[in-house]
Amino acid sequence: MPAVLVIGAGTMGAGIAQVAATCGWDVVLQDAATGAVERGVAGIRAQLGRLVEKGKMTDEALAAALGRLRTAGTPEDAAGMIADSQSRRTEGRSETCPTSEACPALEACSPLVIEAVVERLEVKRDIFRRLETLLPGSAVLATNTSSLSVSAIAEGMRDPSRVIGMHFFNPAPLMPLVEVIAGQASATEAVTFGMETARAWGKTAVRAKDTPGFIVNRVARGYYLEALRLLGEEISTVEKIDRVMKELGAFRMGPFELMDLVGLDVNLAVSTSVWEQMNRHARFTPHEIQRNLVAEGRLGRKTGCGFYAYDGPSPTPAVPGRKGDLAMTADLRRAVHAFADAAGVEDRHDACRLIFTRVLCAILNEGALALEEGVASEADIDTAMKLGTNYPHGPLKWARRIGVSVVGDALRALNTAAGDDRYRPAKLFAAL
């Protein structure tokens, strides 16, 4: 049976370990923090127990999954356990790999490491450099980073070809998407191994180039940042912006609701990382409203207050906002209404249509720019945004449905009004 070492027993690491164990893999879970692995295992046991209660898992399957899960206190101990598991399989004393027939890349069942620790470059580098000396040369080292460069993480290793990105989404047992990222030195075999592993674990795998934010965390920036700009410009309120994007755009959650759920600190950290790696382009600039809330410790649901307050029977807006003067030029107004009409928006209010157009145009343009830069294929970009963020449509399919010329006209009008070049159209939307 294949074996995986998961470094980091927090929410993401424990979730990944749970997925692997329930899919028949030997798992070693290691974390340097005192008590972390115990908490991680307890969380896995509780999650699987709830599946049994709901009739989605048998008691026998639960016991088997937990039986495949071991813990280690140090990387050295963990590497020894992984080597032992690999040795037992090689000698034929382990059960047959349940996925190798369907996944040729897994036939050799090379050991896999997935690191899911804090988003700090040096910490991740140190972990991989240490593990490189402890594990066999066939081991694939995968980072679960959400925004750091896979190539940068692999720098300084004797064999950087072993390093890939496998970006799971939270909660890992439920979210169906995994972004598999090839660094500059990543071997084709290692990337294929990552893709096949994700599929063997029941996930949809998409391949992404090693660029800031990969697919999802790059393309999704517009949903958050444009909403923040609308709030900062006093065009509308937190509650109304959320309502417009849910009702007119069919998004499951509004941008402020979603930031509160993810955590304002987490969302800001990703925005800042992408902004800095993208040469601080205006379209990625983090917003002061969010910076101030994070500085105040208002991080969203986990602290009881963010853009909404959660101390009552239902969330209530907690950030002041007012509806100011839209001040749209005639050209901008025409472009906004043409875009909204082509998108099937029935609401005729200028403010609602402007909110919808600005936020959606930012998303559609970023998806087209990612395609233009070779970050991923059109199909993978659309799949990633639907599965990784629950968007109602993939951005490129959505843009083509609205009409690329209509989207281009709206982007040019918005870019003129913004004055900071953040809406400069991708080539897909260039004037014909």
Supply the pLDDT for residue 324.
Answer: 66
CB 270 within 8 A of CB 278: no
Catalytic residues: 146, 167, 179, 217
Cis peptide bond N-terminal to 171, omega within 30: yes
Say whether both 256 and 190 belong to one domain.
no
Supply the pLDDT for residue 82.
Answer: 85
Say whether both 235 and 205 belong to one domain.
no
Helix and strand totals (H; E) in the chain: 18, 10
Supply the pLDDT for residue 110.
Answer: 74
CB 140 within 8 A of CB 162: yes
Say whether both 141 and 229 belong to one domain.
no
Say whether both 180 and 237 belong to one domain.
no
**Residue range 126-141, pLDDT digits in tens:** 999 999 999 988 899 9
Sign of the Cα torsion 36, 67, 180, 108 reads: positive
Out of 193, 209, 225, pick the residue that ends a domain. 209
Say whether both 260 and 397 belong to one domain.
yes
Out of 157, 174, 209, pick the residue that ends a domain. 209
Say whether both 92 and 154 belong to one domain.
yes
The count of other CB atoms within 10 Å of the CB of residue 9 is 27
Say whether both 199 and 266 belong to one domain.
no
Say whether both 13 and 112 belong to one domain.
yes
| Mean pLDDT along residues 98-117 | 66
Q: Give me the domain span that covers residue 392.
A: 217-429
| Mean pLDDT along residues 317-327 | 81
Give the model's confidence band at 84: pLDDT under 50 very low, under 70 low, under 90 confident, else very high. confident
**Residue range 327-373, pLDDT digits in tens:** 899 999 999 999 999 999 999 999 999 999 999 999 999 999 999 99
Supply the pLDDT for residue 102.
Answer: 46
Share of the chain above pLDDT 70, in %: 93
What is the CATH classification number for the domain harbouring 112? 3.40.50.720
Supply the pLDDT for residue 1.
Answer: 63
Supply the pLDDT for residue 7.
Answer: 97
Helix or strand (DSSP H, E) at 4? strand 3-7
Say whether both 366 and 286 belong to one domain.
yes
The angle, 0 to 180 degrees and rounded to 10, between the axes of the packed helices 36-53 and 11-22 is 50
Local structure of 183: helix, strand or coil: coil
Across the chain, mean pLDDT equals: 93
Give the model's confidence band at 89: pLDDT under 50 very low, under 70 low, under 90 confident, else very high. low
Give the model's confidence band at 209: pLDDT under 50 very low, under 70 low, under 90 confident, else very high. very high
Residue with tokens 């382009």: 281
> Lowest-pLDDT range, 59-73, 109-123, 257-271, 277-291?
109-123
CA separation for the pair 222, 364 (Å, rounded): 9
What is the CATH classification number for the domain harbouring 310? 1.10.1040.50
Say whether both 194 and 62 belong to one domain.
yes
Say whether both 118 and 260 belong to one domain.
no
Assess whether pLDDT exceeds 80 at residue 121.
Answer: yes
Local structure of 51: helix, strand or coil: helix
Out of 146, 175, 209, pick the residue that ends a domain. 209
Say whether both 271 and 401 belong to one domain.
yes
Give the model's confidence band at 431: pLDDT under 50 very low, under 70 low, under 90 confident, else very high. low
| Mean pLDDT along residues 145-156 | 94
Supply the pLDDT for residue 96.
Answer: 43
**Residue range 394-406, pLDDT digits in tens:** 999 999 999 999 9
Share of the chain above pLDDT 90, in %: 87
Supply the pLDDT for residue 326.
Answer: 80
Assess whether pLDDT exceeds 60 at residue 97.
Answer: no
Domains of the chain: total:
2
CA separation for the pair 225, 429 (Å, rounded): 21
